[in-house]
Structures are given as structure tokens and as C-alpha cells.
Amino acid sequence: MKKDIMQASLITAIKTPFKANGDVDLADYDKLVERQIAAGVDGIIVGGTTGEGHLLSWEEHLMLIAHSAYHFGSQIQIIGNTGSNNTREAIKASETGFASGMDAALHINPYYGRTSADGVVEHLKQALAMGPAFVYNVPGRTGQDITPDLMLQLADHENFIGVKECAGNERIAQYEAQGVACWSGNDDECFDGKHQHGSHGVISVTSNIVPELMRALMDDNSPALNERLQPLMSWLFCEPNPIAINTALMMTGAVDHNFRLPYKALTTEQREVGLALLAEFSQDEIVGDSLSLLSDELFNYCS
């Protein structure tokens, strides 16, 4: 029986694998999700940044949410990234996602074509009206911070679950003290966020590759484990996400070597660093059944 979403401390922003022709590879996707479930992960974000939702058509995106809810919804929380910088799109995608069985949505403030502070609040209120949702604050990608004064205007909405917050543990502590549930959006800060600053947990990239260890990181106050994982976390963000996690899962044989452009594999030098880091973990600690550097010509790029 899956836990209530407020009890979810480890949520994986799950990768979307692709076939050689660029189509979504549902067989590999299912294997990735099954490993997350086996590791005790509480939920998955479907079609988030790590899942390359911005490179999926809406048809693919909503299909993946429906597929996830149908096959795994009884075992794990299904959170569909139905956010958009277009309010109308966010509403429509959320309606469809909830009709398909997702448990919650993930909503972001308008990016690129940014709006006023009042516009941010109204955009998110319109999206929240569709059903339970996390609000995602990632100023590094949107170019606009959802500041606490704005977030608190949303926090009393009946469908507001909490915040995926990338603005640091000080803000997370501030929110949690005010009764606003927070999940860290920064893997390298999530241990301190959980065990020192009172966060509910993390929405993680790293758990794609070491889910059992990230499960332990949230459950156990173990500075030694946090220290062990920090180099891997740092490497996974050596280029804009999800370039490194894609490359890592290919290096471990978890998915085929197919990238959707504009993403390309890490360089040979970067992969050599990652290979050394991944080799420090035992086979049962990482997702995939092999570990290799891979040569440049093995990577396939499609649109």
C-alpha cells in the first residue's frame, strides 16, 4: 500500500528512455520504475526536467503519465509534471493527467515569457484548481524566484501540497517553520535539508542511479553516507541536468545509448571521471547490470 503523499520523503524525477528512432522506450522505462519501487522510493515525477518533459510532445507526455498511473499507481505516488509557462496548457494537461489517474501535479511559474508577481500567483492558482499539486521553484531555470511572500499566497489553497524548493535550506527551514511542506530540489543539500532543517524530503535526480542509497540518506541521519554520495552528486550536475544522469544510466547498461537532441553525452574525459566514481559503488547499489566508459561512436542522437 503506497503512503500518503505528505509522507513521501524520497521522490525520484524519473528518466525517460528513448529508442534509436527517438520514440519513448516504455520497456526500459518500466524497468527503471520497477527498480525505484523495489528500492522503496515513495513517488516519481513523470516528465519532469530529468524526464525531458520539455522535449516530449504533449501527446507523449500525457501518454507517459497515463501509462505510469495504470501500471504503477497502486504501488507508488505518480506525480505528473503538467506545469507550463502557458496557463491554458497547464490547466488542460492537468485535467487530462488527473483523469488518467495521476496522484498529483507539479507546477512551475512561467519561464522565458515571464510575468508579473501577480501574474505568477494567478497562474499557479488556476493550475492548483485542477487538483493536488506541488509548486516548483527553480529560479536558475525560470529566471524568476517565487519568493516567500508569493508562495504564502498559495499555501492555503486546498490543493497545495508543498514546494519543491531549489533556493536553499535556509528558505526550506523558514517554510517548514511556517507549516509549508518542502522537498529539496538540490540533491547535494537534501541531507542537511532533511536532517537539520526539517524538510519533508527530496525530489531527486541521483536516486535514478542509486535509489537504495538515497532511500537510506533520507531515512538515516548518516553524515558518512552523505559524504560518500557528494562526489557522485557533484558529477551528475557537471553539465545541465539531465545530461549526466542520461550518460550514467547508459554507462551502467540501464538504458540504450539514445539521446534526444539538443542533449549530447558527456565527453570522454567527463565519462572517465564518472566511471571512477561509479566504480566505487557495488553492483547492487547502482541501477544497471554493467559498467563501462562507452566510446563516442556508441551514442545515437535523434530529434
CA separation (Å) from 12 to 47, 48, 51, 202, 275? 11, 10, 10, 8, 22
Q: What is the pTM of this model?
A: 0.97
Distance of alpha carbon 199 from alpha carbon 62, whole angstroms: 30
Q: Kindly name the residue from 3, 31, 92, 136 that is annotated as catalytic.
A: 136
- Domain ranges for the chain: 5-221
Establish whether 175 is a catalytic residue.
no
Q: Kindly name the residue from 29, 164, 175, 194 that is annotated as catalytic.
A: 164
For range 264-279, the mean pLDDT: 98
Looking at residue 298, its pLDDT comes to 98
Looking at residue 2, its pLDDT comes to 59
Establish whether 301 is a catalytic residue.
no
Is 3.30.70.3420 the CATH classification of the domain at 5-221? no
Q: Is the pLDDT of residue 65 over 90?
A: yes
For residue range 186-219, what is the model confidence (pLDDT) as tens digits? 999 999 999 999 999 999 999 999 999 999 999 9
